[in-house]
Amino acid sequence: MSGRVLVGVKRVIDYAVKIRVKPDHTGVVTDGVKHSMNPFCEIAVEEAVKLKEKKLIQEVVAVSCGPQQSQETIRTALAMGADRGIHVEVSGKDYDSLGPLQVSKILAALAKKEEAQLVILGKQAIDDDCNQTGQMTAALLDWPQGTFASEVSLEAGKVKVVREIDGGLETIKINTPAVLTADLRLNTPRYATLPNIMKAKKKKIANMKPADLGVDLTSRLEVLRVDEPPQRQAGMKVETVEDLVGKLKEAGKV
Amino acid sequence: MLRILQRTSRLRRAPRHLCLQSPASCTAQFLPVGSQRPPPIWGSAQLVLFSHKLHNGTDQSPAAAPERRTFSRVSEDDLAFFRKILPGRAITDPDLVESSNVDWLKSVRGSSEVLLRPQTTEEISQILRYCNSRNLAVNPQGGNTGLVGGSVPVYDEIILSTSLMNNIVSFDNISGILTCQAGCILESLSLFLEERDHIMPLDLGAKGSCQIGGNVATNAGGLRLLRYGSLHGTVLGLEVVLADGRVLDCLATLRKDNTGYDLKQLFIGSEGTLGVITAVSILCPRKPKSVNVVFLGCKTFEQLLKTFQLCRGMLGEILSAFEFLDSECMRLLNTHLKLANPISACPFYIVIETSGSDPSHDAQKLHNFLEEAITSLLVTDGTVATEESKIKALWSLRERVTEALTHEGFNYKYDISLPVERIYQLVTDTRQHLGGRAKSVMGYGHLGDGNLHLNITSPAKDPALLATIEPFVYEWTARYHGSISAEHGLGLKKRNYIYYSKSSQAVALMGHIKAMLDPKGILNPYKTLPDNLK
């Protein structure tokens, strides 16, 4: 099956960075903080590039919605093997309130415009943990969805997806075009090698605005307050069982 | 000239005898006027003779411990004193003392029965004053991550741990000067500084356990020396307790102070034999806004060297690390630590780190360098990381080689300084010399500093193999005017090899200084200085 795969990549705060809440509790500090591609999006890109290397699909298009810096994230996808990129520019207040609903509208519009066979996304982003964009995109397109994919195989006109679910693994077969979301064990993303990093600088990234796709960015959510989780209290060591019972009684637990 | 002798007392005489006898030969080797290199310490004939005597002249290996000196043994009265000044922190429970008796490599074990954990300089002063009067030997101990057996007792020396002295005293944000107690763990200091937009001027694989006092006492080098220099330059002041308990306060926080002899330099690298460092003031650089790590693969060492030259030319002012490892190291990382190779298999790998103040400028410089390196075919493969998580992943490939080695069998470790062009030649020559007798021979290290970590492994400790490796490696190093211990120090294991890299006049003067500062020799005995010193 030849065709085009759309991969969504999100720019998030790097997972190794210590997160700090803004003093006004409206969000977390992002200025001057190291950002990188969402790890699950990396896995999505890797899967798309693998499909291309197996000659099962023809073109991988990386998409990101966000401010100017999102272009770096697209470049990383290009360095991993994506063919071209699309940067949907969203900045300022619009970016602060950008969530799965708006992004899924954008991706759905792009999937139609680009005549994509597959839309592959990460299962969730590590900053908001929403796990909604893939599902919403599929619903807006009225396409089947294979979420939490740990194994993907393409067959004529269909995709076989092994899904990680609470009870174990579930295997489904869905028609294309479809939306897939990548789970941790789908693959191990490659390091972008130098020749590809150099090539990526020459690949095209198209620019557009949500309005160009007819998407309305109004959010139905309002963030009231952001707080750090309560500090973990230090534990206490006791010498004997009697001590333990005594301390539990003191704390009113027994 | 010299007969093969059996007692160490004769060994004591030998090198001095050699040097007195052959000043003529030494000068005969003198290099032409105008040459930059100093005269070799040994003419090649004398070198072979000295090392032959060192390695075959006595029954045991030069690295083995000497006989116990006539220090007092710890008595109940002594314990009562320690318990009085360190309530709850004078430890005699064998299970608790055990881990402080063994080094990180599990290669040397002492039999100390007392572990003291002071919290203040005053407590250390009282302890040393007492031990000096009682003629009790003391082993200062920080993070116990040293690799030459210098951090653990040889016999029953009292272990003086700085682990509880982990307070940060002050930090000046404008000058970047940090003052702290000697027991602060390097990684903790790094985290503290990161929140204040600074970093420590040194970084090493042992950062999670090593303490700054120990780092200073061993003049630790590490991964950032290329950029920020050695502790001799970045340490601005020290507080040291001397052998008799006197507190020497040289804890200045000044960048420039030319008032008299710079005493702190004596203690930096003294390995706990001249005094116990209790506080450090150190100059810390600003945290770079832009850090990039590049992992490259080269086909030959010549290409690696050319890449280094290219790197210095095109990345110069932003270069903060240039490390290398060979394919054997990569094999160990893959096998024992399950760390995957991020690029294709190559004979040599380089880790380059850049640190600068402007991400776009640095990205441009890096891009130009990489383009040049690829088009001129110096580099066959590589990858770049700008994200924190990926940077950590690439660095771990270099930082965890030491750890991977411990899983491969018994390690013979050599930390050698050589002219950069010669670094890998030692590895290939050693491989050839050993034939198939060793399990593996590998090299890695701080190429930018001319520092090779040569490692040989065998399934179990093998004296015959050791006899083939030594003195070959040391003689080779001395022949090229290198150092037999670039950054690890001498400790217990390498104390007798000092003459390969230092003249006997120099070592004699070291002995005088030791005798002056520690007349009873109670501070970290059996270490750093050779046995044959009077």
Long-range contacts of B162-171, Cβ-Cβ distance < 8 Å, separation of 24 or more: B162/B118, B162/B211, B162/B213, B162/B214, B162/B276, B162/B278, B163/B117, B163/B211, B164/B89, B164/B117, B164/B118, B164/B119, B165/B118, B165/B119, B165/B120, B165/B121, B165/B213, B165/B278, B166/B211, B168/B192, B169/B279, B171/B196, B171/B198
How far is the alpha carbon of B192 from chain A, nearest alpha carbon, in Å?
13
The minimum CA-CA distance between A201 and chain B, rounded to whole Å, is 10
Q: Which residues of A touch B392 (CB under 8 A)?
A: 16
Structure tokens at A69: 């810096």
Closest Cβ–Cβ partner in B342, B374, B388 for A16: B388
Rounded to whole angstroms, the Cα distance separating B341 from B355 reads 24
Q: Would the pLDDT of B291 be above 50?
A: yes
Q: Do residues A111 and A4 make contact, with C-beta atoms less than 8 angstroms apart?
A: no
Q: Say what the pLDDT of residue A2 is.
A: 56
C-beta atoms of A198 and B384 within 8 A:
no
- Cβ-defined contact of A201 to B367 (cutoff 8 Å): yes
Which residue's structure tokens are 């360098």?
Answer: B369
Q: Which of B390, B394, B397 to mutate to test the interface with A (most CBs of A within 10 A)?
A: B390
According to the model, what pLDDT value does residue B144 have? 96
Smallest Cα distance from B390 to chain A, Å? 9
B13-27, B381-395, B503-517: range with highest mean pLDDT: B503-517
The residues facing B319 across adjacent strands are B354
Tell me the average pLDDT across A129-155.
Answer: 97
The whole-number average pLDDT for the span B443-460 is 94
Contact call for A36 and B389, based on CB within 8 A: yes
- The minimal CB distance from B383 to the residues A32, A35, A192 is found for A192
Domain A4-251: state its class: alpha beta
Domain assignments of chain A as residue spans, ordered by start: 4-251
Coil/strand/helix, residue B86:
coil
B360 has pLDDT over 50 = yes
**Cβ–Cβ gap A194/B340 under 8 Å:** no
Q: Report which listed range, A14-18, A247-251, B367-371, is most confident.
A: B367-371
Instruction: Report chain B residues whose CB lies below 8 A from the CB of A188.
Output: 340
The per-residue pLDDT of chain A, averaged, comes to: 93
Share of chain B above pLDDT 70, in %: 91
Residues of A in contact with B378 (CB under 8 A): none
Which chain B residues contact residue A197 at CB under 8 A? 370, 383-384
State mean pLDDT over B190-215.
95
Instruction: Tell me what pLDDT residue B4 has.
Output: 36
Give CA–CA dist A157/A13, Å, rounded. 37
Cβ contact, residue pair B342, A34, below 8 Å: no
- Give the architecture (CATH level 2) of B290-480: 2-Layer Sandwich (3.30)
For residues B292-299, average pLDDT: 95
> Which comes out higher in pLDDT, residue B211 or B36?
B211
- Mean pLDDT computed over B256-272: 95
Q: Which residues of B touch A191 (CB under 8 A)?
A: 295, 342-343, 383, 385, 390
Q: Cis check for the bond before B471: say yes or no (omega within 30 of 0).
A: yes
| Gap from B375 CA to chain A (nearest CA, Å) | 10
What is the domain partition of chain B in residue ranges? 168-283, 290-480
CB contact under 8 A, B371 and A198: yes
Say what the pLDDT of residue B22 is: 34
pLDDT at B259: 94
Tell me how far apart the alpha carbons of residues A64 and A11 are, in angstroms, rounded to a whole number.
8
- Mean pLDDT to the nearest integer, B468-496: 93
* Contact list, B295 vs chain A (CB under 8 Å): 191
- According to DSSP, the residues that pair with A120 across neighbouring strands are A7, A180
Both structure tokens of B396? 């771990």
User: In chain A, which residues have their Cβ closer than 8 Å to the Cβ of B289?
Assistant: 32
With beta carbons less than 8 A apart as the criterion, state whether B283 and B236 touch.
yes
Q: What is the ipTM of this complex?
A: 0.76
Which chain A residues contact residue B296 at CB under 8 A?
194
pLDDT at B493: 93
Is pLDDT at B31 greater than 60 in this prediction? no
What is the least distance, in Å, from the CA of B387 to any CA of chain A? 6
Angstroms from A23 CA to nearest CA on chain B: 16
Looking at domain B168-283, does it have CATH number 3.30.465.10? yes
Residues of B in contact with A32 (CB under 8 A): 289
Contacts of A77 in chain B (CB under 8 A): none
Average pLDDT over residues A166-192: 95
pLDDT-wise least confident of A166-175, A241-250, B19-28, B174-183: B19-28
Q: How far is B326 from chain A (nearest CA, A)?
A: 19
Q: Is the pLDDT of residue B507 over 70?
A: yes
- What is residue B71's DSSP assignment? P
Of A35, A188, A194, the CB nearest to B382: A194
Q: What is the pLDDT of residue B1?
A: 41
- Token reading at B79: 């314990």
In whole angstroms, what is the distance from residue B296 CA to residue B364 CA? 18
Nearest alpha carbon to residue B200 among B184, B187, B213: B187
Q: Check pLDDT > 50 for residue B19.
A: no
Name the amino acid, one letter, at B331. R
User: What angle separates helix B8-21 from helix B44-56, to the nearest 10 degrees?
Assistant: 170
Nearest to B374 among A15, A188, A198 (CB): A198
Nearest 5°: phi and psi at B409? 140, -155
Look up residue B8 and give its amino acid: T
Residue B479 CB neighbour total at 10 angstroms: 15
For residue B389, give the nearest of A14, A192, A193 by CB distance: A14
Angstroms from B392 CA to nearest CA on chain A: 9
As a whole number of angstroms, the distance between CA B212 and CA B219 comes to 10
Smallest CA–CA separation between B384 and chain A, in Å?
7
Q: Tell me what the mean pLDDT of segment B326-349 comes to.
A: 95
* Burial (CB count within 10 angstroms: exposed 0-12, middle 13-18, buried 19+), residue A158: middle
Query: pLDDT tens across B154-199, in order?
Result: 999 999 999 999 999 999 999 999 999 999 999 999 999 999 999 9
Task: Calculate the average pLDDT of chain B.
Answer: 89
pLDDT for B40 equals 58
Sheet strands (E) in B327-437: 348-356, 381-385, 410-417
How confident is the model over B229-258, as a mean pLDDT? 95
**What is the predicted pLDDT for the residue at B48?**
72
pLDDT value of position B43: 66
- Which whole-number Å values give the CA distances from B509 to B262, B477, B501, B503, B529, in the listed order? 17, 23, 15, 10, 11
Element of type H or E holding A165: strand A158-165
- How far is it, in rounded angstroms, from Cα B124 to Cα B26? 46
How many cross-chain Cβ pairs, A to B, lie less than 8 Å apart? 50
The identity of residue A180, as a single letter, is L
Residue A10 distance to chain B (closest CA, Å): 14
Q: What is the DSSP string of B266-303?
A: HHTT-TTSS-EEEEEEEE-PBPPSEEEEEEEEESSHHH
Of the candidate ranges A23-27, A83-87, A230-234, B191-195, the one whose mean pLDDT is the lowest: A230-234
Q: What is the pLDDT of residue B14?
A: 36
In the three-class reduction of DSSP (H, G, I as helix; E, B as strand; rest coil), residue A160 is classed as strand
Strand-strand pairing, B168-172 and B158-161: unpaired
At B469, the amino acid letter reads I
Name the interface residues of A facing B (CB cutoff 8 Å): 14-17, 32, 34-37, 188, 191-195, 197-198, 201
Read off the tokens for A111. 């999937």
Average confidence (pLDDT) over B130-152: 96
| Beta partners for residue A62, in sequence order | A7, A85
- Which residues in chain A have Cβ-Cβ distances shorter than 8 Å to B390? 36, 191
Q: pLDDT tens-digit profile of A90-135?
A: 999 999 999 999 999 999 999 999 999 999 999 999 999 999 999 9
How much is the pLDDT for B42? 64
Contacts of B383 in chain A (CB under 8 A): 191-194, 197
Q: Give the Cα separation of B244 and B246 in Å (integer).
A: 6
Q: How far apart are CA B64 and CA B8, in angstroms?
A: 12
Q: What number is the average pLDDT over the span B112-122? A: 97
Express each pLDDT in B53-73 by its tens digit: 777 765 577 888 899 999 999
The pairing of beta strand B247-250 with beta strand A145-155: unpaired
pLDDT exceeds 90 at position B151? yes
Closest Cα in chain A to B292: A34
Confidence of residue A176 (pLDDT cuts 50, 70, 90): very high
Note whether B384 contacts A197, CB cutoff 8 Å.
yes
Contacting residues of B for A42, CB less than 8 Å apart: none
Q: Per the CB < 8 Å rule, is A193 touching B382?
A: yes
Nearest to B383 among A32, A37, A191 (CB): A191
